[in-house]
Amino acid sequence: MIYMLEDEEGIRNFVIYALRSSGMEAEGFETPSALREAMSEELPELLLLDRMLPEEDGLDVLKNLRSAPETRKLPVIMLTAKGTELDKVEGLDSGADDYIAKPFGTMELISRIKALLRRASDAPAESEKLEAGGLCVYPSRHEVIADGTMVTLTLKEYDLLLMLLRHQGEVFSRESLLREIWGYDFAGESRTVDVHIRTLRQKLGSCGEVIQTIRGVGYKAGDGAVD
Amino acid sequence: MIYMLEDEEGIRNFVIYALRSSGMEAEGFETPSALREAMSEELPELLLLDRMLPEEDGLDVLKNLRSAPETRKLPVIMLTAKGTELDKVEGLDSGADDYIAKPFGTMELISRIKALLRRASDAPAESEKLEAGGLCVYPSRHEVIADGTMVTLTLKEYDLLLMLLRHQGEVFSRESLLREIWGYDFAGESRTVDVHIRTLRQKLGSCGEVIQTIRGVGYKAGDGAVD
DNA sequence: AAAAAATACACAAAAAATTTATGACGCATT
DNA sequence: AATGCGTCATAAATTTTTTGTGTATTTTTT
């Protein structure tokens, strides 16, 4: 179970929905007191904590948690507004286990949550490797091999490919890709996705075919025919 | 197995995680009594000991250890707050085998632990030698040869190079480099890394190309081809 | 069923935004 | 005084987004 303390309803709903879609149990709270009440009932495995809250600073909430024995070890990810402390690497002194800058995409959120849960449970880091068609992606190296040759992708191209490959066969609408990768408050056109898909296919050469267009719906990646 | 006695939760988690990531078994303890209890079960190969503890001084803990026959020779690294010159002397005098000033980076921590374990087990110093491109780094000599000529690097430059070369092909974000090399509570800008990368590349001359910039992600070192 | 209209997508190139490299400065240490 | 280090402002490089157009595909109309 994952708890989230965030005063903005939009973001809260977005995150809770994203987490549940990823198969996690999640519950959101608007105020520190609501969170505290819930925590007295059931402790979450991980807490997402907004740094800026109207009444009480997120750091204070965190401090309180750290001073109570039952929540001392609770994994906490702090959500901070971009620009504020983003450039600064906050010390671990403040007690958060990780930080995410707003606005974040689902992809980043999920991967950080998983990373922290993994860390907390003392499991070894998985060195992922994704394959499809003649494609091979090494996340830790940020490298993509297409038909034996290495191709250089920009960040968005890379993220798109990763997203599609991690869910092979699944179709993603442009909107959901925007939310996953660009973040919840991206204001641009959905055609932006098209453009990146195009450059991505181009760079992948013949392997670009693993990315299929589902007309009227979106895109998906897959080795072979499914339907 | 490595034990650590440290009252601050954040630092303890950070260290334990770092050690386990490096393939060592590690366990952290918050209080001297918790440590003692564990030590009565199993003796560690090495102990990381915080100098400043709320209840009992780290030095006293150490003295006790040294006075007991089964822990007399236990390798101990003392963790001391930065700046206090006295700690250095006292720490070594009182029987610590090494000391590390807080805040330390993962790199320094690991290398000192390994050094001490090596010393304690009386094994010969491993003469590591890292190569990539026309580059050659001899950690034991703290020497770097680029294209046949020796170059003099400053500490940060050297650490950066070592870090990257020890994990060739792997991408490091600026944040993780700061944590590894600068220490866990470095509060500066992540751009600082850029600057050192620049001077490093400069000094390496044509070999500087082994350090690649992964736009939007970080840096990595590598010859090129993967496998 | 064929033609026309409407969509949806691909492609290209310019414009905007972001990220990184560079040069210079100040501070601290030696 | 010299060196190492961190920060800043600015320049350079590259990515990202927008925009315009053409083409394929689907839907609607006849």
Closest to B19 (Cα-Cα) out of A124, A136, A169, A157? A124
Q: What are phi and psi of A182, to 5 degrees?
A: -80, -30
A 147-166: CB within 7 Å of strand C: none
Strand arrangement of the beta sheet that strand A130-132 belongs to: A130-132, A135-138, A143-146, A149-151
pLDDT beyond 60 at A134: yes
User: Are residues A5 and A49 in contact, defined by beta-carbon separation less than 8 angstroms?
Assistant: yes
CATH number of A130-221: 1.10.10.10
pLDDT beyond 70 at A90: no
In this complex, do B226 and A145 lie within 8 Å of one another by their Cβ atoms? yes
pLDDT at site A123:
72
Q: Which residue has the higher pLDDT, A142 or B86?
A: A142
pLDDT beyond 60 at A46: yes
Global confidence as pTM: 0.84
| Separation of alpha carbons B29 and B38, rounded Å | 9
What is the spatial distance, in angstroms and rounded to an integer, between the CA atom of B196 and the C1' atom of D5? 9
pLDDT at site A84:
56
- Residue ranges of domains in chain A: 2-120, 130-221
Please indicate if any CB of chain A lies within 8 Å of the CB of B95. no
Strand arrangement of the beta sheet that strand B2-5 belongs to: B26-29, B2-5, B46-50, B76-81, B98-102
Tokens representing B33 are 């009594």
Q: Where do we find the tokens 């709903």?
A: A13
pLDDT at site B126:
73
What is the spatial distance, in angstroms and rounded to an integer, between the CA atom of A38 and the C1' atom of C3? 65
Identify the bridge partners of residue B26 per DSSP, sorted by sequence position: B2
Identify the bridge partners of residue B113 per DSSP, sorted by sequence position: none
Which chain A residues contact residue B190 at CB under 8 A?
87, 89
Q: A83 falls in which pLDDT band (50, 70, 90)?
A: low
Which helix (H) or strand (E) segment holds residue B157: the answer is helix B155-166
Which portions of chain B are predicted below pLDDT 70? Answer: 82-94, 224-227
pLDDT at site B112:
93
Share of chain B above pLDDT 70, in %: 93
Q: Which residue has the higher pLDDT, B206 or A90?
A: B206
CATH class of the structural domain B2-120: alpha beta
Q: What is the rounded average pLDDT for all residues in chain A?
A: 89
Which helix (H) or strand (E) segment holds residue A20: the answer is helix A9-21
Q: A51 falls in which pLDDT band (50, 70, 90)?
A: confident
pLDDT in tens, B82-118: 655 544 555 556 688 988 888 899 999 999 999 899 8
Cα torsion A34, A37, A40, A42: sign:
negative
Give mean pLDDT, residues A116-124. Answer: 79
pLDDT at site A224:
56
Residues with Cβ within 8 Å of residue A6, at least 6 apart in sequence: A12, A15, A28, A29, A30, A48, A50, A79
pLDDT at site A92:
55
pLDDT beyond 70 at A55: yes
